[in-house]
Structure 1
Amino acid sequence: MSAPDDLVRAVEATLFAAQEPLRADEISRHLGGADVRAALALLAEHYAPRGVHLVERGGRWHFQTAPDLAHLLRREKEEVRRLSRAATEALAIIAYHEPVSRAEIEAIRGVQTAKGTLDVLMEAGWVRMAGRREVPGRPTIYATTPQFLSHFGLASRADLPGIGELRAAGLLDPVDEAYAALTGNREEAGPEDADAPDEPGEAD
């Protein structure tokens, strides 16, 4: 990108100074209503081969370290966050069906989901409360966050893998009814998997 114009430079500076990822309309408002879409595209192209990339995750733009260089910036070994089976299933159901209530998650899983399970996902920054369902009792509904998309390298929920891709990657071996149900493909789960009882303590 040679001789960037003032708008491109302004968008670049705005993103560098931002404390959190910004939507295009937020950048536009900050710059007096300018159309920033072309500038964002130019910057993304400019940074693509460099040590930092400009990426869009969940409709929000931010700079991040190039994936192949991330290891150079880690000063200590990261502790791997391991989710319980219950939390993993709940996260998958929310991602594919959001917004969903706790009762809807339990209907798909076929077992009660402890409040602590959803608390873990919210503490991780991957799930948020998205309001209340307009039905009797007005239950809280849950949805994923931009941090969820960013963590898993997804531009949007449209990039979530299908059940065939998950199975090919060995992530559905054995296939649980909950996983098949969350994509609406119950028939793909084998009879032995669909009838298998849940593990003790899964509600926790």
Structure 2
Amino acid sequence: MTDTPRDSLFEAPPMAEQERMVEAILFASAEPVTVKELGDRMPHGCDPAEALVYLRKRYEGRGVQVVRVGDAWAIRTASDLGFLMSREVTETRKLSRAAVETLAIIAYHQPVTRAEIEEIRGVAVSRGTVDQLLEMDWIRFGRRRMTPGRPVTFVVTQTFLDHFGLESARDLPGLADLRAAGLLDNRPSPLGAVGREDEDPDAAEAGEGQSELFED
């Protein structure tokens, strides 16, 4: 009788089965899941990154899609069918103009300090405004600046990206798009140089991993 090689005990499941595993994890997860987290849950030898490629292709053109959210993945309703879900959305809280402007500045200038936000807005940023955005998990603390006082910086979160269906800061709308959508009036924009009519792709790249800003 020939012994079975020990390595065969750890042979990865077929790719079709790995796709099913990834699909099940994403479907059941309330939050986007990273490739590493997928790998930690799947059997030894699986390739979740490759399984995601096949799964994403399988969902192309369907009512739900596999989408990237920052460095994670999720199953979400196709963007062109979002209007069908409008009755399920409950608007719980409107952001004040100060909160909207602060959030916009963080999204377009991240990582940015409180002093820099105040310089761009031209007024002081209240603690309540920052606390509200932190509580909503739309912003978080970034790395401290290596400058005198080592001020803390702010960046937007993956929750923020997921809420607005954005993959990264590259997807931030330009100033003209915001005005066309009625999200900005004709007053001077608080976004500064980054939020100009022709968005600088290099500036957006600098803040990759974060992103959009207003209540639907």
Q: 1:184 to 1:4 in 2, by over 3 A?
A: closer
Q: 1:8 to 1:166 in 2, by over 3 A?
A: same
Contact 2:15-2:51 at 8 Å conserved across structures: no
Contact 1:15-1:63 at 8 Å conserved across structures: yes
Instruction: Look up the match of 1:156.
Output: 168
The match for 1:14 among 2, 11, 25 is 25
**CA–CA separation in structure 1 for the residues paired with 2:87 and 2:184:** 33
Q: For this pair of structures, how many residues does the alignment match? A: 181
TM-score, scaled to structure 1: 0.76
Whichever residue aligns with residue 54 of structure 1, its letter is V
Instruction: Indicate the percent of aligned positions where both proteins have the same amino acid.
Output: 46
Instruction: Look up the match of 2:157.
Output: 145
Whichever residue aligns with residue 32 of structure 2, its letter is P
CA deviation after TM superposition for structure 1 residue 175, in Å: 3.0
Deviation per residue, 1:169-204 (Å, 9 max, x gap) = 34332132423x151649xxxxxxxxxxxxxxxxxx
The match for 1:27 among 35, 38, 51 is 38
Contact 2:69-2:161 at 8 Å conserved across structures: yes
**CA–CA separation in structure 2 for the residues paired with 1:132 and 1:103:** 13
**CA–CA separation in structure 2 for the residues paired with 1:65 and 1:166:** 23
**CA–CA separation in structure 2 for the residues paired with 1:11 and 1:27:** 7
Equivalent runs, 1:51-62 vs 2, <5 Å: 51-62=63-74
Residue 71 in 1 paired to residue 82 in 2? no
CA RMSD of aligned residues (A): 2.7
Partner of 2:67, secondary structure, is: strand
Q: 1:185 to 1:53 in 2, by over 3 A?
A: closer
Moved more, 61-70 or 129-138: 61-70
Partner of 1:5, secondary structure, is: helix
Q: 1:50 to 1:14 in 2, by over 3 A?
A: same
Partner of 2:68, secondary structure, is: strand
Equivalent runs, 1:184-195 vs 2, <5 Å: 185=196
Instruction: Look up the match of 2:6.
Output: none
The match for 1:115 among 122, 127, 144 is 127
Equivalent runs, 1:129-140 vs 2, <5 Å: 129-140=141-152
Q: 1:51 to 1:161 in 2, by over 3 A?
A: closer
Structure 1 runs of 4+ aligned residues shifted over 4 Å read none
The answer for unaligned runs of 5 or more in structure 2 is 1-13, 198-216
Contact 2:174-2:196 at 8 Å conserved across structures: no
**CA–CA separation in structure 1 for the residues paired with 2:45 and 2:87:** 36
Deviation per residue, 1:89-108 (Å, 9 max, x gap) = 11011001111111111011
Q: 1:184 to 1:63 in 2, by over 3 A?
A: closer
The match for 1:183 among 194, 204, 207 is 194
The answer for unaligned runs of 5 or more in structure 1 is 187-204
The match for 2:56 among 20, 44, 60 is 44
Whichever residue aligns with residue 89 of structure 1, its letter is E
